[in-house]
Structure formats: C-alpha cells, structure tokens
Amino acid sequence: MAEYSKLARGSFTSTGAAKAIYLPFTPDWIEIINYTAAATPAQSGIPRAVWDTSMGQGKAIADLFNATPVLTMDSVEANGFSTFEAGRLLQYGASQQVVAISKADPAVVEVTGHGYSTGDVVVFQGLYSTQYTAGMPQLDGVPFVITVLTANTFSIPWNTNQSAYTALAASPSGAMVKKVLYPFLYAPGVSFISDITLGSTTTVDTTAPHNCVVGQEVAFRIPDAWGTTELNSLPNESIPGSPVYGYVVSVTDSNTVVVNINSSAYTAFDSNIAVSSVSGLTHAQMIAVGDVNTGGVDISSGSVLYPPPSVNGVNTINGPAIKGAFVNNTRRGFIIGAGAAAGDSSSVLVGANSDVIMWRAYAHDFAV
C-alpha cells in the first residue's frame, strides 16, 4: 500500500561532519549511497547504508570495504541515522553542570565535555554563586548562540565584565545549561537584546540569531531596568493608541540589525542589572510585527522567496510563506551521523570531505 506513503530524495557533498536533512515528514526508512566511495573502493569506505525505525536511533547497517578491499557488511551502533521532529513548543537536551563563567566580554563558560557545536543555542538556569545575592542569574532563561572554544569551554554574546556580575567557579550547586534542540520554530519571532547602540539609526545586538531581513518591521519591549524604554512601541505620543514601530535598514550579521529609529536622545541601554533585581525580571526584547517579514519582496513563482524564506540559513519546508511577522519553521527530517562501523573505527557513515552522497527517505503508510 502506498496511498499515503511519503518519499523524498536528494544529494549533497559531504564535509565529513554529521548532516541534517530537512523534510516535510519524519522517515521510517533511510538509505544512502556514497557515490565517491563506491566509484573508488578503498579500505574503510562505506558505499551504502540503510536504516529502519525498528533499529532505534543512531543505528545503521552498512556495506563496508575491508583491507583487500572486498565488500562486506557491518553495523553502526552509535551516531548513525537518527530522526528529529520539532514540535509546537521548545524542546531541550540534557542539563549539564556549569563549572565556571568568567567576567569577560564575551563571557566564557566552562562545561566539562559539553559536546556542543558553534551555532548551537543554549539556556542557563540557577547561575548563583550565593543564592539571591551574587553570581550571574541575569543570564538565566535567555537563549544564547554559542561559539565553541574547546571541548570544555564556549563563549556567549554577553558582557559579564560589569560590577553587578560575580564570576562563577567550582561548579555551583544548581548552575546548569541545556541545549535548545530546535530554537527557531517560528521566525523571525522574538529576540532577546544584549546591547543597543544609540544614534541617528539604532543598532541592536541580540543573544541568538534574529532571522530578520531588510524591510522587517519590528517593535521593542524594554522594561525600565534596561534603560532604553523610549524604544517601546506604546505609547505613541504623536498619535495616541498607535504603536511605534521601526524598520530594519541593514543586517550586520546574524546577531545584529540596524533599525531606522533616531535614538540619539534616548537613555543608554544598561545590562548591568543587580542580582537583587533578577527576581521577576523581564529581559529586553525585539519582536517582529507587521506584514513585511519578507523585506517587501513579493512571494510568487520566480521571485527570490519562492521557494520560501530561509531561517538561520536553511530554507523552510512549508511552501511559500504568507507575508506576516512569523514564518512557521517547525522542522522534521533525519541526520546522517559521523559514526563508524562497529568493526572499523576508521569508517565514517557520512563519508569523507568532498564525498558525493545520494539519499532517499520514506515514511510508509502501512507496516506489519
């Protein structure tokens, strides 16, 4: 039976690192052919591999060239094929102990064997060195994009080298971090603000990728503690009841935008929030609003946004988007891992750098 089965195919050039494939369904059967490894047989090459959902996550059965090289078979027991499915709410990885956080700009976080990658988004909780009086609880609950420095350290885009922050050390009890598995379920969405540069235009730095484009209409929610309350969308003193919005005039990078609001006379942004003020604190935020999240470009066949807009560098899978403040970016698909065959630690499921990989994925509507 195949009336409701779903099929997909594609190809890519491997970098040697795990590869995520985004699909409009979650597959129950996956197969790949490494065209490069098949065309030039060599020891430890994996020219073909398959996975069925009954194997469990991270597994695979692989064809494998031995030393002769002669084709044989083996299993991949870890970091093989795995599927993922982002839901309507945020999902998180396992909590890990925070060993230390430095007073620096950017702050450096120590987590033993964290296993994260540059570009991952994480959140913290319980960052006290002394309960309610000292530490870095100002960072709790904020999504931060990280830059990996070593196997045990990474940096976050926040200035902790300020008087209200106390360096964390010696694995404080309750100080934890966890990865946000699918941080951009809707985009552009809501961004947390790490800094604001005032001037004839306003430069906004965010703690994680903002996913805004030029022409994006944005509003601000800035509680009194953070200083620059003049940016807030309400009230509009000129037109009571009408919100004050700004437009993105340039995108500096994934964490920085420039907005067409003249803030020269506004109060400076202040992230030096006292620990005693953290309880009940709401962070400063920038929110996508209005109907120009496409940058004002029409979405129609042949336009640059057909296929749909990308989110953090990857196209969404839901077809052309309707102009609005949020693009639905809930993701499903599978990952081809960099695991090795059980009997050959030199083999790599996803292949070597520059290998050409062809894949097919299925979601069957009937199984016995």
Which CATH number fits the domain that encloses residue 284?
Answer: 2.40.30.180
Q: 305 in a domain, yes or no?
A: no
Asked if 56 and 150 sit in the same domain, the reply is: no
Q: 303 in a domain, yes or no?
A: no
Task: Give residue-wise pLDDT tens across range 211-230.
Answer: 988 888 899 999 999 999 99
Closest by alpha carbon to 349, among 121, 132, 119, 30?
30
Triad 15, 21, 27: Cα angle to 5°: 140
Task: Give residue-wise pLDDT tens across range 250-276.
Answer: 999 999 999 999 999 999 999 999 999
Q: Which domain holds residue 145?
A: 96-179
Q: 312 in a domain, yes or no?
A: no
Asked if 160 and 100 sit in the same domain, the reply is: yes
Asked if 82 and 100 sit in the same domain, the reply is: no
For residue 151, what pLDDT is reported? 96
Q: What is the pTM of this model?
A: 0.82
- Taking the C-alpha atoms of residue 322 and residue 293, their distance in angstroms, rounded to an integer, is 9
Point out the domain boundary residue: 234, 264, 289: 289
Asked if 175 and 195 sit in the same domain, the reply is: no
- Taking the C-alpha atoms of residue 313 and residue 336, their distance in angstroms, rounded to an integer, is 19
| Torsion angle defined by CA atoms of residues 211, 215, 221 and 226, in that order, rounded to the nearest 10 degrees | 80
Q: How many CB atoms lie within 10 A of CB 274?
A: 13
Q: Could you say which DSSP state residue 39 is in?
A: H
In 3-state terms, the chain is what percent helix, strand and coil (to 5)? 5, 40, 55
Asked if 57 and 112 sit in the same domain, the reply is: no
Mean pLDDT of the chain: 91
For residue 194, what pLDDT is reported? 98
222, 193 contact by CB (below 8 A): yes
For residue 225, what pLDDT is reported? 96
349, 76 contact by CB (below 8 A): yes
Query: How confident is the model over 352-362, as a mean pLDDT?
Result: 97
Closest by alpha carbon to 210, among 168, 273, 258?
258
Per-residue tokens: 131: 């309960």
CA 339 from centre of chain = 22
Closest by alpha carbon to 216, among 206, 225, 207, 224?
206
Burial call 122-137: b when 16+ CB within 10 Å, e when fewer: bbbebbbbeeeebbbb
The H or E element spanning position 130 is: strand 128-130
Asked if 193 and 283 sit in the same domain, the reply is: yes
Question: What residues have CB less than 8 Å from 247, skipping those under 6 apart?
Answer: 215, 216, 217, 218, 259, 260, 292
Q: 297 in a domain, yes or no?
A: no
Q: 308 in a domain, yes or no?
A: no
- Give Dmax (Cα) for the chain: 81
Domain total of the chain? 3
Per-residue tokens: 90: 């945020």
Point out the domain boundary residue: 150, 179, 208: 179
Answer yes or no: is pLDDT of 36 > 50.
yes
- Taking the C-alpha atoms of residue 185 and residue 169, their distance in angstroms, rounded to an integer, is 34
- Taking the C-alpha atoms of residue 149 and residue 349, their distance in angstroms, rounded to an integer, is 26
Q: 91 in a domain, yes or no?
A: no
Closest by alpha carbon to 229, among 278, 196, 277?
196
Q: Phi/psi at 367 (nearest 5 deg)? A: -145, 150
Point out the domain boundary residue: 153, 179, 205: 179
Asked if 281 and 348 sit in the same domain, the reply is: no
> How sure is the predictor about 97, in pLDDT bands with cuts at 50, 70 and 90?
very high
CA 286 from centre of chain = 18
Q: 159 in a domain, yes or no?
A: yes
Task: Give residue-wise pLDDT tens across range 145-204.
Answer: 999 999 999 999 999 999 999 999 999 999 999 999 989 888 888 999 999 999 999 999
Per-residue tokens: 56: 């469990």
Q: Phi/psi at 196 (nearest 5 deg)? A: -135, 130
**Where on the phi/psi map is residue 349: left (φ > 0), alpha (ψ -120 to 50), or beta?**
alpha
Q: How many CB atoms lie within 10 A of CB 249?
A: 15
98, 172 contact by CB (below 8 A): yes
Answer yes or no: is pLDDT of 37 > 90.
yes
Q: 39 in a domain, yes or no?
A: yes
When comparing pLDDT for 49 and 90, which is higher? 49
